[in-house]
């Protein structure tokens, strides 16, 4: 859809890839197609055409023990992060019309940056939070850090290796 209709398809495809990787790494199992949107026309994109909308509904569903860990959309053949293998990223890339090398590069870069960025965000905003909220944020950070460590290893594996 983006390739055919977006004003800047390459930029929007990278943005959508990064959003998907972010959702996987933070443990947002509820990231489904209706959580992504397109903007059309002159407002608010500032020009005619179609563009990926700003992201919304970003959260870690892992901090809610009663919610499923099953992804709304697969990563390769996997429905849960525990089942994602390096080859699943290759299959994901192929299905998305992206190069596996590009997906591995973006995955590795985000996996390296995300734990620190999340920790800094939590440190800067949790001072007034309740004990329960701080515990939930700590759990989100721990889970995300583990996922990022695994994803970084996946990113270093070449397709088919």
9 CA to centre of own chain: 19
Cβ atoms < 10 Å from Cβ of 98 = 16
Q: By C-alpha distance, which of 95, 74, 101 is closest to 85?
A: 74
Three-class secondary structure of residue 31 per DSSP: coil
Does 30 participate in catalysis according to the annotation?
yes
Report d(CA 119, CA 15) in Å as an integer: 23
- The span from the first CA to the last CA of the chain, in angstroms, equals 31
Q: By C-alpha distance, which of 96, 7, 111, 93 is closest to 50?
A: 7
Element (H, E) at 52: strand 50-52
Peptide bond into 44 cis (omega under 30): yes
User: Residues 30, 88, 128, 143: which is the catalytic one?
Assistant: 30
The set of catalytic residues is 30
């Amino acid at each position: 859809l983006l390739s055919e209709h977006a004003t800047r398809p390459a930029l929007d495809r990278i943005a959508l890839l990064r959003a998907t990787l972010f959702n996987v790494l933070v443990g947002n199992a509820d990231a489904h197609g209706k959580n992504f949107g397109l903007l059309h026309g002159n407002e608010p994109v500032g020009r005619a055409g179609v563009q990926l909308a700003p992201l919304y509904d970003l959260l870690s569903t892992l901090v809610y023990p009663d919610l499923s860990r099953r992804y709304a959309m697969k990563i390769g053949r996997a429905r849960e992060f525990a089942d994602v293998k390096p080859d699943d990223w290759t299959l994901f890339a192929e299905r998305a019309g992206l190069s596996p090398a590009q997906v591995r590069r973006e995955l590795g870069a985000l996996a390296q940056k995300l734990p620190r960025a999340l920790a800094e965000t939590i440190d800067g905003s949790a001072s007034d939070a309740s004990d329960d909220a701080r515990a939930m944020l700590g759990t989100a950070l721990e889970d995300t850090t583990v996922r990022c460590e695994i994803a970084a290893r996946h990113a270093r594996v070449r397709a088919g290796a």
